[in-house]
Amino acid sequence: MTDAIDLYYWPTPNGWKISIALEEMGLPYDLHLIDITAGDQFDPEFLKIAPNNRMPAITDPNGPDGAPISIFESGAILQYLARKTGRFCGATERERIAVDQWLMWQMGGVGPMAGQAHHFLLYAPLMDPPQDLPYAKGRYRAEVGRLYGVLDRQLADREFVAGDFYSIADMAIWPWAHLWKRQEQDISDKPHFARWVETVGQRDAVQRGRALALEKRGGVQVSKDAQGLLFKSK
Ligand SMILES: N[C@@H](CCC(=O)N[C@@H](CS)C(=O)NCC(=O)O)C(=O)O
């Protein structure tokens, strides 16, 4: 039995990737809330683990060679946990490549684009002073739509993103994709995407990971102090 992993987390899509993975893999963990609206991500102790001042991060007391290891960046954490458990990363080299490919597609595409869509569609118009920017809204709404079209076509003839097996690529993409309404997407023309969002969302571990500390999640109206922490422009 492995010792509990320290999970540094706040209930957001990037945080859910790791809470879902830990639940799926049955790994014990101790929760450390990093309240990003209160500035916990800038705490010098947290920055030693996550120098990019973003959560999620983990510390595994039983890292490689039995020594502790800390990891930031959700994609790197997912790959580490999959290697540690030998689960959800594919059984053959071809499957592993497919998993990595779609994981990177999430990290470089869906995450940043959907993040900006949330920012310009939901948060920025409610800022003080309001930042209601039609070009930015249209740009990120359309790019998220394009990415979900790619995903829909990928899912047309396979059950999950990387093949007919559930993997860390699904765990990385679902926390963003299931928020398609917030990203002002119309998925009526994306039946495979809709089926996959529903299937993954019904998994017990996904529901447990998604529910972790959910009561802490705030609305889209962010306080002036939190705006200063999260939306700095210089
Ligand atoms: N590429 C990073 C992104 C993590 C990220 O953006 N986390 C956000 C919350 S979803 C955060 O911690 N924000 C704090 C801040 O902006 O100061 C990852 O995938 O781990």
Cα–Cα dist 82/75, whole Å: 11
Name the residue with tokens 């309240």.
35
Dist CA 147 CA 154 (whole Å): 11
Q: Token pair 């999430």 is at which residue?
A: 106
- The confidence score (pLDDT) of residue 232 equals 76
| Segment 198-206 mean pLDDT | 98
Ligand 1 centroid distance, CA of 105 (Å): 17
**Ligand 1 binding pocket includes 74 (Cβ within 6 Å):** yes
Task: Please report, for the domain that includes residue 137, its CATH number.
Answer: 1.20.1050.10
Q: Are 72 and 99 found together in one domain?
A: no
Task: Dump pLDDT digits (tens) for 140-193.
Answer: 999 999 999 999 999 999 999 999 999 999 999 999 999 999 999 999 999 999
Asked if 185 contacts 224 with a C-beta cutoff of 8 angstroms, the reply is no
How many domains does the chain divide into? 2
pTM here? Answer: 0.97
Q: Are 192 and 198 in contact (CB under 8 A)?
A: no
Beta bridge partners of 30: 6
Structure confidence by residue, pLDDT tens digits, 53-64: 999 999 999 999
Give the pLDDT mean for 107-121: 98
pLDDT (tens digit, 9 = 90+) per residue, 57-103? 999 999 999 999 999 999 999 999 999 999 999 999 999 999 999 99
Range of the domain at 188: 93-202
**Which atom in ligand 1 lies closest to the alpha carbon of residue 17?**
19
Closest ligand 1 atom to residue 229 Cα is 17
Q: What is the CATH number of the domain that holds 9?
A: 3.40.30.10
**Residue 78 beta carbon below 6 angstroms from any ligand 1 atom:** no
